[in-house]
Amino acid sequence: MVLLAVFFWLSVYLILHTYLFYPLILQVLSANKKNNAVCFERDDELPVVSVIISAFNEEEVIAEKIESIFAGDYPDDKLEVLIGSDHSDDRTAEIINSYLPKYGNLIFHDFKERRGKQNVVNDLVTESAGSILILTDANVMFDIATVFKLIRHFKNPEIGLVDTNMINKGLKLEGISYQEKAYISREVNIKNMEGRLWGTMMGPFGGCYAIRKDDYSRVPPNYLVDDFYINMKIFDKRKKAINDLDARVFEDVSNVLKDEFRRKVRIATGNWQNLRAFSHLLWRKHVGFCFWSHKVLRWKGPFFILTALILNIFLA
């Protein structure tokens, strides 16, 4: 019975650790920690930036996306935008083509075969001229200073990846938008604290983040969570991943339970792929602590809950 009690309380603790104790530990340790301070200033010689977008049937948002990027304050001669249409069958290509005469640094490829987001991104990265890449989704809109706030950190050679502050809009009383916003806001805060403490942010929000072109890793075929894979490869290279709360982007929050459940299933499946690929990082100082606490224990959470429930029956 003693052994059963040990396993019961261990399961309970591991659940509480990932959801309660770990964020509290980060909050205490990061209280007086600031983000990376080695940054480009506005009057420095800034790097060339390539914004990479893979688009599939994005006719409702692609015009606003293009306009939000070019409305920013990053120098035009240091910026290019590459968009690849993954064989869209709506007006996405037509809309993008209409912007080509207006923006000479907008590059468009209308791929005639559906190959998936990551293959499109890989092709665009190969063609890109920038030393810094911003990988972003078509439905994520930029603030006027998003590009500069992201790339300024790359003056520090230790920084390999910088994530944005995802701000949700389009909240509705019905559906799950408020719950989803609460979850995303909490995750942004946790990732920001991880980055400020040790540069060990556990995965960007895939909607928009920046990475050095030299540090970009092509995602293997059939990988389901590409942004987390790219983030973990940064740690393989002994570089840091951080989050900048001032680099704001905007996205309509998901409000349909069925769609969000389908997305979460895809992410959950991809999590196990990444655990297998990066299990060696579980034992590295700081990276391992965050990987276990923020990700792996959550992924195994249902097993801990089930174990605790079964053992509770025997211990009752």
170-209 tens-digit pLDDT? 656 566 666 667 777 899 999 999 999 999 999 998 899 9
Provide the domain limits for residue 60: 36-259
Whole-number Å distance between alpha carbons of 202 and 245: 15
Does some domain include residue 273? no
Predicted model pTM: 0.92
Question: 113 and 251: one domain?
Answer: yes
| Gyration radius (Cα) of the chain, Å | 21
| Residue 214 covered by a domain | yes
Give the chain's domain count. 2
Does 190 map to a domain? yes
Among 215, 222, 224, CA closest to 135: 215
- Tokens 């050095």 belong to residue: 212
31 sits in the region (left: phi over 0; alpha: psi -120 to 50; else beta) called: alpha
52 in a domain, yes or no?
Answer: yes
Alpha helices in 20-61 (DSSP H): 22-29
CA 25/CA 9 separation, integer angstroms: 20
Q: How far apart are CA 295 and CA 300, in angstroms?
A: 9
> Over the stretch 137-180, which tens digit does the pLDDT of each residue have?
999 999 999 999 999 999 999 999 999 999 887 656 566 666 66
**Chain segment 251-283, per-residue pLDDT in tens:** 876 655 566 667 666 666 778 888 999 999 999
Range with the largest mean pLDDT of 100-104, 111-115, 180-184: 100-104
192 within a domain of the structure (yes/no): yes
Give the Cα separation of 145 and 71 in Å (integer). Answer: 9
Task: Examine the domain organization and report whether 43 and 15 are in the same domain.
Answer: no
Task: Name the one residue in this structure whose structure tokens are 């060339």.
Answer: 48
At a CB cut-off of 8 Å and minimum separation 6, what does 175 contact?
Answer: 255, 256, 257
Judge if 214 and 159 occupy the same domain. yes
Per the DSSP assignment, residues forming a β-bridge with 249 are 142, 166
